[in-house]
Amino acid sequence: MKKKKNIILILFTLYTIVAIAQSNTDDLPIEKTYIHFSSNFLLTGENLYYKIYNLSQKKLSPYSKIAYVEIIDDNNKSLIKQKVKLNNGTGYGDIFIESKLKTGTYKLISYTQWSRNKQIFFENDLYIVNPFIEKQNSGTKTIQKNTYTSNKNSKYNLKINKEKFLNREKVILKIEENIKGNFSISVNKKQPINIPLKKNIRDVFNKNSYSQKISETKFLPELRGQLIQGKILQSDSISAEISNIKLGLSILGTNPFFRTSITNDLGEFYFNVSNNDSSTAFIQVLNKERGNYKIKIKNIPLYKQFKNFKYLKLDDKLMNLIDKRTEYMQIENSYHEVKKNLELPLIIEENIFDKISLTYTLSDYKQFKTVKEVIIEILNDVWLTKNKNNNYIHVRDSNLKTDTKLPSLLVVDGNIIFNHQDFMEYDTKKIKSFSLVKNKYLFGSVLYQGILYVNTFKKDFKPNSEYVSQIDILRPVSLKEYFFQMHDVPEKTKRIPDYRTQLYWNPNVDLSTKEITFYTSDISGEFEIEIEGFTQKGKPISLIKTFFVD
C-alpha cells in the first residue's frame, strides 16, 4: 500500500512539473485548506489553538507536506507566520498572541504553496484586544453578523453526563455513533453575543465559499517538505556558466540538516527541507570558481489582498468582560511553570547518521595537535591528498572499490566544508568525534565517495564566511501534548488557581472512543463544545453542544 502511494506521488510530481512547464495547472488536483481553531476573540497574552485540514478532491490531500498559517492586519501585513508539517493532510499548532499586537480586527489565513496557483486561501476574522496598551474607542462602525451559523447534525449526537456543572467538576462527553475520520475538539467559554461566529466547516465546504483566481506565478507543490528556491547570478563584470553548478545547504541545530543541489540551465536551484529545528540556514556554491557567483533566494509575496476587516465595537458590557478575563489570564500565566505543555521531539524521517558505519571518539586515543596527524594516525579509512597548498580529505569505500575521482563530503557540526583546508587548522582539543559513511552516497543530486562527519564539543565551528550566505527560514511548529488541568485528585490541585476559559483542546480526538473527559475550571458561565473534521469518506462534520458551570 505504501509502495503504491509512493508511486502515485512520483507520477503526480512528474505530471506537475510537465504541467507547470507548459503553464497549465487546470487539469491537476487543487488543494483547499481549512482551520478549526479555538476562538476568534482573544486577548494579548492568550493562546490560539488550531488544526489545519488540507483537502483535495473532497478528501484529505496526500500531496502537500507543508502548510502555512498567518495572522495579517488590515494593511495586509503579515505579523505572525508559521510553517506546519502535514501528516496525511492535517497538522496542528498554537499561536501565542503577543503584546505587540494592538486592539483591532485581523485575519487568520492558511494555504499551501500548491493552493496558491489558484489563489485559494482560508480566511477568518480574528478580534484581538490588547488590554495593556489602550482601550479602543467605541467607533461608529459595528461588526456585521456573518452568515455562518452553528450546525447541528441530525445524524450524530453529543451527550454529556449533565447540563449544569460545579466548578472543577468532571465532564463526560459521549458520542452515540461510531464516527471514523479525522477530528479536533475545542471546549471554550461561549463568546459574547456581539462577537460574530467563526466560519463553520460544513458551511464552508457545502457552500463552496472559496474564491479562485489563477496566479500569474507558478508554484510547485511541497511534496517532501519546505521547498527553498533560488537562483545563482554572475558576479559583477564576470562571465560565468550558471548551469550545472553545485550548491550546499546547511541548517544547524540539535538535528543538523544538510543537502546539496545542482542548478538547471537557468541557474535555478531547489532544496527540500523536511526536518529543521533552526530558523537559520547557510547556503554556498560548491565550485572552485565560487567567487564568481551571487546567490538570490526566491521569496514570493502573497499578492492576494484580503478585505472586509470589520470594526470591533467595545461597549461597556464587553469592556467589563475583558477586564475580568484579563485578570484571569494574568493569574493563569503566573502559574505557567506548573501548567506546561509537553513539547514532543522532532521526528527525523531521513537521517544520514543511520548510514554511519564507524565512529572514532578522540578521547579513546592518544591526543594529537593537528587534524592532519589525527587523520594519519587514527582514521584508518581516511587519507589526504594535496593540490598546491590545499589538503583534501578522502574516505575509503567499505567494499574497497573506492572511486578516487569522486570527492568525499566533509561536514563539521552540520556545515558543509567545500575547501577542506579551512578545517585543517582547527584545534583538535575541541573535536569530540569523527564519523564515517564509507559507501558511495548520493546526497541530494551529487554523488560522493563517502562522508566524514565531525562533531565538536560546543558545536561552534564556523566555516569561511566569505562564500557562505545566511538565510532565514521557517522552522516547523513543534508538536505538543497540551496541558489542561485535571481535578481527579482534589488534594493535589486545591492550592492551584484554575481560571481557564479554554477548558480543553485536542487536535487529534478519536470519536470512536466511548467517552471524552475534561474538567471545568473556577470560572462560571456558558461553555461550548465544538468538534470539527472529516469522515473517512471526506464528509465535513461539525458538532456543537453547550453546558453551564455555576
**What is the mean predicted confidence (pLDDT) over 291-297?**
92
CA distances from 458 to 83, 252, 429, 430, 455 (A): 29, 12, 11, 8, 9
CA 44-45-47 angle, 5° bins: 100
CA 186 to chain centre: 21
Same domain, 246 and 272: yes
Q: Residue 403 is placed in which grid cell?
A: 572511486
**What is the mean predicted confidence (pLDDT) over 89-94?**
98
Which of 447, 472, 497 marks a domain boundary? 472
Same domain, 465 and 449: yes
Q: Summarize pLDDT for 141-182 with one digit per residue, the tens.
A: 444 444 444 444 447 889 999 999 999 999 999 988 888 999
For residue 104, count CB atoms less than 10 angstroms from its CB and return exposed for 0-12, middle for 13-18, buried for 19 or more. middle
The residue type of 437 is V
pLDDT at 349: 61
Q: What is d(CA 540, CA 534) in angstroms, rounded to the nearest whole number?
A: 5
Could you tell me if 49 and 186 are in contact, meaning their C-beta atoms sit under 8 angstroms apart? yes
SS3 of residue 80 by DSSP: strand
Which of 439, 472, 505 marks a domain boundary? 472
Q: Residue 525 is placed in which grid cell?
A: 458561565
Same domain, 357 and 292: yes
Same domain, 199 and 134: yes
Q: Summarize pLDDT for 70-87 with one digit per residue, the tens.
A: 999 999 999 999 999 999
Same domain, 526 and 397: no
Same domain, 196 and 183: yes
Same domain, 213 and 234: no
Same domain, 284 and 314: no
pTM: 0.89
SS3 content of the chain, % helix, strand, coil (to 5): 15, 40, 45
Report the half-sphere exposure of 321 (CA within 13 A, side-chain side).
Answer: 19
Position 538 pLDDT exceeds 70: yes
pLDDT at 134: 60
Which of 472, 503, 529 marks a domain boundary? 472
Same domain, 177 and 290: no
Note down the domain range covering 14: 1-29
The residue type of 543 is L
How many independent structural domains does the chain possess? Answer: 3
Backbone phi and psi for residue 325, each to the nearest 5 degrees, phi listed first: -65, -35
Same domain, 411 and 286: yes
CA-wise closest residue to 182 among 274, 70, 92, 67: 92
Helix H segments across 408-546?
Answer: 421-424, 490-493
Same domain, 490 and 538: yes
Please give the radius of gyration of the chain, using alpha carbons only, rounded to the nearest integer.
28
Same domain, 123 and 66: yes
